[in-house]
Structure formats: structure tokens, C-alpha cells
Amino acid sequence: MRRQRVLGTIAIACLLAASPVRGQPSPRTWPIDLANVPSRDAIAFCLYTTHADVLKLTAQLYPLADGVDREVRLQVHTDDGWIDVARTPVSEAPYGFPQQELRRWTAHFRVQPWDTSRDQRYRVVAAGGAAEYEGRIRRDPVDKDEIVVAAFTGNSSQDRRLKPDLVANIKAQDPDLLFFSGDQSYDHKLHYQAWLLFGRQFGDVVRDRPTICIPDDHDIGQANLWGENGVAESVSQNGADGGYFWSPEYVNSVQDAQTWHLPDPYDPTPIQRGIGVFYTSLRVGRVGFAIIEDRKFKTGPAGLVPQMGPRPDHITDPKYDRQRVDLPDARLLGERQHAFLREWGADWRGQHLKAVLSQTVFANAAHLHGKYDYRLIADLDSNGWPQSGRNRALEEIRRFHGFMIGGDQHLATVIHHGTNAFGDSGYSFCVPSIVNFYNRWWIPDEPPERTIEGPLPHLGDFFDGFGNKVTMHAYANPDEARKNRYGGEWGGRADGHGLVRFHIPTRKITIECWPRGVDVTRADAEQYPGWPITIDQTDNYGRQATAWLPTVRVSGMSDPVIAVIDETYGDLVYSLRIPGTEFRPKVFRDGSYTIQVGEQPDRMKTIRGVRATIENTEFLDVAIE
């Protein structure tokens, strides 16, 4: 049987042969060894999620030789052995330009109903039975008091080796969910190869726990991404004109590989040129996650913002006017995603806490770039711009007290965001890069409006380069002095991963930031200075009250949902699921409000005409039948 040659002059088979110790590829070269992949090794890795009694799983295959069976089977283990639950043909759709000679080689499974109450061993079988790949679908941990999310970003191509240190730490911390926020691949024209390497690096942890991957600019082959609703970027891969540089087929192939296994999109309607969308929601235990695409609808700056630096997106002119670049018509999330967040945010069924997962955070926190020799006043690639779009997104997210997790910035931070006032919105955690070969630092050259005492300098209230209000609570700047402490290689560039612990009974959120090279199982293991940080759910709507509604006392149930609606405008002010049975709702102007209390969808009690006063000492007793 003639075998198909793999990837032209670049072979992938050696990725299977490489080990964490022997045969480890050098940091900056492709691991080139063999030209063919045996049929027994046809399955590279698998990704899955379960949500609303639906299992979605993607098996990523290596290229199959001519004549090899194309059917792929998903099996589960029972008392009677392995049984088939789904079958599907492997996709041979062309990858699209610039990898038009390749095929996708993905196999997608959607199984409904899926029993989420127990762990289940699964096996994927391909190549006529020659290839097998095993893993575990975890049960939904609805009874756990703490849901743990491990978060990652920036898997730079400057180091193509395996990640045994990081994988060992993930296994030890045993998170309930993995979140890769973008730049899983830095090989702009070679996503297929880089994606296979990503699977080789993280396959041992993604095979047995739900995983979210959302592609960012480098994944789809661009230095930056302002998606502009899918228009064609015809100028350069820098992307400042807005849109996508490579073919829609290539973008869709990247998304097919990285996101098909996510829960079904909220609104699957493609954007321009047939490019698909993946923004959606996922619930793990009692925590709800909104997965958004903060780059796909964003307006490109070229032609709108006068160039005030060496690049259209980099502002280095200290005389520039921040207000001049605040363009109310410039988009960030776009209307479709605002509608999604509005509907999802008000729905608390099965959820005690909510979080938003995005490609990056809504601030411009980096001052120095590169080799500590490039001060950047404002970066239009950050979600600090456009300011009006940024503020609108934060105001939507704070309605449901959402905590925000993102990446991309090469600089780990914990920021309390403000729109009209410092800290009036939610907290965000930008996680450190897995491999950080483009350094960035938080070193403001203006004094803070208010200083926070802590283990780091430059903590407190600051204006970012766009004039946005940010309260810095922690950051992890590159520091060469850390290299020896962390094994002589890691830590100096401030690389690592984040961990977020959602504690259900108390509604506390603990944020951890772990350096590469640290063994988290050691008693003396230390996080980056400034971490951990613990906040309360209600800190994610930090706006100061100007009036109060009566204290709500609930009987008949514990942990009810409470929604506050402004009767003048008919707007939802905010909603949350409270701990216990008592809550004092704050509001932000005098007036009349509706309070809804209970369990969604049909055990909610509505009380209208509730008046707000400056010092409200009254009680509102609500009995839920």
C-alpha cells in the first residue's frame, strides 16, 4: 500500500517519537525526523466539552495514507467492553490558502443525550481499527464546592519543545477546566503542523478534562487581528486595515480544529465571506462561562486613527490626544455579542458564579516592549481601544458580576476596571504566556491617582494609554534575576500559567499566577509576587451605591437569584445568585425598581414599585413556594 507523503518537506511523524527527555527537539527548529506516519499512530489528540447533556469531541488526525479506511468511531467502555456510540468520516476538506495542499483531518462527534453524572472512559478508533486513542470524559462536578480553571496563552514558536514541567503542574493542580485563550500556534502559514505539535505538548491533559481553545491572531496567521466582521485584509498580515489576510477557508479550518468541540454557537450565522463564529457558553459545575470573540467584530484602526508611531497600531507620540482616538462608532464586541451577553448574563439556571473568557483583557497595561527599550504609550491591538466599545463591554459584563479571564498581552495582570469611576466594573486576570519571547512591562511614567500598598511598586489607580481607568493589583514583569531561582531557564521572561478558583459557597474567587519551572507540589512553591489574590463575586460590580433598596429576606429556598430592574427605563440593573437568604441591593439613582427573586425559570417572584432611599433600613420579606 502506498503511503501519502506528509506535509511536503516538513514531517510530522517525529512529533510522536519525541519524548520529554530523550529526543526532545531543539527550542527553535521544527522536529524533523520521518516523512510518514504509521496508521497505528493516526490519531494525534482529542478535545472535548460537555454541556446541557451534549458531548462534543474533536479527534485530530495525522494525514491518512491512500486506501486507509476514513471512518472514525467513538466508543465508551461498559461492563460488556467497548461499544460504539458514534461514527463519522474524517474531514478531508482542503485547509485553504496558504495550506491549500493539505486537508483538515478532523473527526467530529456530537452525542446527545450524554450522561454527565459520571465519568466515562472513551476510545477513538481510526484507520480501520489500526489506531486507538483513549481518554476520560469527566462527570459534571455540580457537587463540588470549588471549580478550578487553569488558563494559558501564547505558546510561542521560539520554543517547539514539549512542556513536561507545565503538564506535570497541571496534573498536580487537577483543574476542572482548561482554557487556552489564543496563540496556541505562532506559525502563520503552518497552522496544521503547529496544531499537531500543540496536541503533542498538551495531549496528556486535554484527553481527560474539558478544554476551551479560542484562536487569536497568530493562530489564523496574522500579527494582529481586527476582524471587521470578516472583510478581506488585503494590505499585510499586520492586519491594521481590519479583516482577515488569509483565505476564509484557512480561517475556518483553524476554527474547525480549535473550536468545533465547544458547545454550539449562540448564533451560528457566519460573518462576511462565510467565516464561521464560535461565541457560546459553557457550564462546569455551578460556574457559567461566556466564551466570546473579542477580535472578530472589532474595527481596524488604519484610516480611522492617524498614525502616531512606527506602526498604525502603536502610538508612541507623547503629544497625542487620547480623546481623538475615542471613536464611538468603532466596534469592539459588536451587536451580536452584546445581545448574547445580555441574554446569557440574565440566565442563572444551574449557575452560582459567572465568568467571561476572551482572547485578551479590556485594558492597555503594557508600557515597555521588546528589550526594555521601546516605550509604547498606547497599543490599538489591546482591548483598551476603542474606549467607548471597551466601556460598553464592561458595563454589560458587570450586570451579571462577571469575572474576566484573558491572555495575549505577554504580561500577567490583575486589574479592577473602571468606566466612569475607578473600580466601578469587574476584575480581570490576564494570564502569563506559556513561552514569552516578546517581553512587556508595567512601568507607568505617571503617578497613580491613588496608591495601593502591596508587595510590588506601581499598584493603584492609573489611566492607561487610552485614558481608561484601571486599578492595578498585581503584575508579573520580566526579571532576569528569577532565572536561576527557577531552574536557569524559566521565570525570567515572566512565563507560566494562571489558575482561578471559584468557591461556590462563599462566592469568593481566588486568582493564582504560577511561574514556569516551579514544582507546585513542593511545600515551598511560590507564585509570582503579588499573588494569590481573592475577591468577592460582588466586587465585579464595584460601582458605588447612591441609594439602597430594602434588604431582601427570602424564605422557602436558599441561594436565590435576585434581579434588579429600573422601572423608569425598563433596564436590568444587575442580577446574581446570592449566597444564603439575605441581600441588600444597591442602586445608583433614586427611583422605583422591580425586584425579582427565586429560581429561574418558573419559581421567580416579582415585586414592583420598590422605592430606593439613601439610607434604607427596611426589609422586604419574600416567600418562595
DSSP track, 36-92: ---GGG-EEEEEEEEETTEEEEEEEEPPPPTTS--EEEEEEEETTEEEEEEEEEPP-
- What pLDDT is attached to residue 409? 95
Q: How confident is the model at residue 30 (pLDDT cuts 50, 70, 90)?
A: low
Enumerate helices (H) and strands (E) in the chain, giving the number of each: 7, 37
Number of domains in the chain: 3
- The sign of the CA dihedral 306, 309, 311, 314 is negative
Query: Is the per-residue pLDDT at 18 higher than 50?
Result: no
> Residues 223-249, buried b or exposed e (16+ Cβ, 10 A)?
bbbbbbbbbbbeeebbbbbbbbbbbbb
Q: Could you tell me if 370 and 504 lie in one domain?
A: yes
What does residue 196 show for φ and ψ, rounded to 5 degrees? -60, -40
Asked whether residue 204 is assigned to any structural domain, the reply reads yes
With a cut of 60, say whether residue 484 has pLDDT above it. Answer: no
Task: Please determine, for residue 153, whether its predicted confidence score (pLDDT) is greater than 90.
Answer: yes
What's the one-letter identity of residue 144?
A: K
Residue 333 sits in the same domain as residue 474: yes
Q: Is residue 528 part of a domain?
A: yes
CATH code where residue 172 lies? 3.60.21.70
Q: What pLDDT is stored for residue 36 in this prediction?
A: 75
Q: Is residue 242 part of a domain?
A: yes
Q: Do 552 and 531 sit in the same domain of this protein?
A: no
Task: Kindly state whether residue 421 falls inside one of the protein's structural domains.
Answer: yes
Residue 338 lies in a domain: yes
What's the CA gap between 198 and 184, in Å, rounded? 7
Out of 136, 159, 178, pick the residue that ends a domain. Answer: 136
What domain range includes position 264? 146-541
Whether residues 47 and 117 share a domain: the answer is yes
My answer on whether 386 and 451 are in the same domain is yes
Say if residue 234 is in the same domain as residue 103. no
d(CA 229, CA 406) in angstroms, rounded, equals 21
Same domain, 561 and 444: no
Res 128: pLDDT: 95
In a domain, residue 449? The reply is: yes
Q: Which residues pair with 353 in a beta bridge?
A: 287
Conformation bin of residue 100: beta by default, left when phi > 0, alpha when psi is -120 to 50 = alpha
How would you list the strands of the sheet with 571-577, edge to edge? 571-577, 561-566, 592-599, 603-611
Can you tell me the mean pLDDT for 207-229? 96
Tell me: pLDDT of 10 over 70: no
Q: In this model, does residue 487 exceed pLDDT 70?
A: no
Residue 338 CA: distances (Å) to CA of 65, 294, 334, 484, 572: 46, 11, 6, 46, 14
Are residues 113 and 167 located together in one domain of the fold? no
Question: For the residues 41-63, what does the mean pLDDT come to?
Answer: 96
| 192 and 286 both lie in a single domain | yes
How many other C-beta atoms can be found within 10 angstroms of the C-beta atom of residue 272? 14
Residue 565 is assigned to a structural domain of this protein: yes
Mean pLDDT for the chain overall: 92
User: 141 in a domain, yes or no?
Assistant: no
- Confidence at 14, pLDDT banded by 50, 70, 90: very low
